[in-house]
């Protein structure tokens, strides 16, 4: 049975199966070796994520076929400024951290053997957000700030350390990239191909540290050049 990896998050996870997306790249990397299962919900925050856990994870697996890992990638919407256009998505930092604890507890109760990996929210290019939302309107205001995103990223990392689980610091890592505001973010929030590549590399590195790597996973079914052409039954056993 193939190992399963679940990606649970907001729009950055939902979009990850698009062309060049970090989720699609994971599915390609683990082709014939592991199944990458997408559970991404555009616009969702941790408060809403808690409400849909049972419905969205139903049917993925039980005790005997639990996922080997689940990525939890929320915070970009929680960090929306409460007095701006996307204020309805805002979740206070204290609640956000508690919601992350609850999400982790849910997964560990459902699948005790599954490793939960937190992904901290990415940085924000405020100029890019204003242009995306307001065009050339000089009075436009960003509904998110990099400072607020940074506070939520720190909160995510704090909870991960408290729970002793892996965490990917997307907020810091992406800001190490030259011209990160434009090179990694297409609209001040969502990822460009380079932004997707940055996160993909970090997820692969984290999975490898957990012993889940392309090199170590068995291939599902023999490669075509391993098949006995004259007597396929010798290869497949039936």
Which residues are part of the catalytic machinery?
Answer: 11, 187, 190
CB 93 within 8 A of CB 149: no
First to last CA, the chain: 18
Query: What single string gives the DSSP state of each residue in 98-143?
Result: HHHHHHHHHHHHH-TTPEEEEEPPPP--HHHHHHHHHTT-TT---S
User: Would you say 23 and 36 are in contact if contact means Cβ atoms under 8 Å apart?
Assistant: yes
- No. of H helices and E strands in the chain? 10, 5
Q: What is the DSSP string of 169-225?
A: -HHHHHTTSTTHHHHTBSSSSSB-HHHHHHHHHHHHHHHHHTT--TTTSPPSS--GG
* Beta strands 35-40; 4-9: pairing state: parallel
- CB 53, CB 103: distance < 8 Å: yes
Q: Is 53 left (phi over 0), alpha (psi -120 to 50) or beta?
A: alpha
Q: Please choose, from the candidates 12, 13, 76, the residue with its C-alpha nearest in 3D space to the C-alpha of residue 39.
A: 13
Q: Cα torsion at 69, 92, 56, 167 (round to 10°)?
A: -10
């Amino acid at each position: 049975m193939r190992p399963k990896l679940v990606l649970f998050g907001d729009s950055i996870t939902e979009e990850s199966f698009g062309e060049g997306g970090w989720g699609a790249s994971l599915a390609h990397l683990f082709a014939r070796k592991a199944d990458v299962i997408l559970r991404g919900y555009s616009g969702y925050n941790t408060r809403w994520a808690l409400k849909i856990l049972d419905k969205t994870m139903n049917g993925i697996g039980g005790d005997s076929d639990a996922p080997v890992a689940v990525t939890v990638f929320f915070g970009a919407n929680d960090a929306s400024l409460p007095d701006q256009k996307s204020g309805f998505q805002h979740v206070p930092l204290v609640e956000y951290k508690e919601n992350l604890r609850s999400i982790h507890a849910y997964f560990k109760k459902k699948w005790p053997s599954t490793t939960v990996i937190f992904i901290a929210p990415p940085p924000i290019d405020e100029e890019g957000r204003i242009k995306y939302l307001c065009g050339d309107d000089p009075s436009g205001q960003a509904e998110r700030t990099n400072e607020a995103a940074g506070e939520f990223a720190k909160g995510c990392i704090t909870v991960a350390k408290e729970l002793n689980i892996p965490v990917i610091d997307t907020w810091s890592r992406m800001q190490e990239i030259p011209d990160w505001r434009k090179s990694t973010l297409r609209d001040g929030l969502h990822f460009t191909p380079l932004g997707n590549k940055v996160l993909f590399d970090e997820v692969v590195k984290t999975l490898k540290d957990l012993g889940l790597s392309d090199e170590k996973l068995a291939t599902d079914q023999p490669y075509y050049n391993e098949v006995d052409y004259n007597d396929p039954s010798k290869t497949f056993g039936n």
